[in-house]
Copies of this chain bind each other. A is one copy, B any other.
Amino acid sequence: MHVCEVGPRDGLQNETVLVATSDKLRLIAGLAAAGLPEIEVTSFVRPDLIPQLADAEEVLRTALATLSTRVRALVPNLRGAERALQAGAPALLQVIGASETFNRKNVRRSVAESSSELHAVAAAARRGGATAMLSVSTCFGCPYEGDVPVEAVTRLVEAAGRAGMLRVEICDTIGVANPRQVYALCEQLRREFPDMRFELHFHDTRGLGLANVVAAIDAGIVEFAGSLGGMGGCPFAPGATGNVCTLDLVNMLNEMGVRTGVRVEPLIELGRWLEGVLGHRLPGHVLRAGVQPVVAKES
């Protein structure tokens, strides 16, 4: 099972404390050391819109220079993709909302305008020797429009495929997905797009994050996004809270006997350090409870 850590991007962009670049790099290095096979290290967005990620170039360049883990960067459009590629990004995700209103809020374009850039982004990536993938926001519900039709998701997946992208991230941006809905969508996506790799990205807003992971696994999904400690959210999605906690996710998979290659203990240490950096507790359960109960001595 493949777990991609998105905390340095999706987590930090929703934190109020401006985190020092050196702390971001320490976080990313710690994640890599714990065995995370892929890390979404930053996003090439306008610094005036998300000041937290204004150091995207430096974070990406240093991560690439110092780590052997796969790293990727989010981009909102072709301009962001070009910035990311110039900084040496080996992999990038273009984000598009399945819901029209959300996409306008998030990347200031219509879905059609964003989709029309998929080819250019993929082509730019190819020229730069990088891979491009699509990240689809609000696949299970939108804070502005409510229900999101499945066709809005499949249309974007199809467009990504036509642009030559081989991987799509399916996001429950505001944490409204339920296991039945997740199973149905994943099953349909795998059936309609047998050659596409799908990564599922859940938020734990209503406590359903891990239940949705299990439903996705049941439907054959093997790639998930998580965020250390469960930090995260989306500045343009009212009511959104943190991502599925990477620690809780990895602990669950380990306990289920599913190999992730990730060690939980160093992540607990890293999560506690991160709480100090952010100045508040993070919601992840395993941060508090530990991996398994210490077998208590009989008293």
Interface of A with B (CB < 8 Å)? 101, 141, 143-146, 174-176, 178-181, 204-211, 213-215, 218, 238-239, 241, 245, 248, 251-252, 255-257, 284-286, 288-290, 292-296, 298
Contacts and interface: CB of A to CB of B under 8 A. Distances in A.
- Counted per complex, copies of this chain come to 2
B248 A285 contact: no
Nearest to A284: B207
Give the dominant DSSP class at A's interface.
loop
Contacts of A294: 238-239
Contacts of A252: 178-179, 206-208, 211
A248 B295 contact: no
Nearest to A251: B206
A189 B253 CA distance: 23
A209 B179 CA distance: 13
A286 B206 contact: yes
Given A144-B296, A178-B252, A256-B180, A208 B207 contact: no
B286 A255 contact: no
A152 B107 CA distance: 57
A289 B237 CA distance: 13
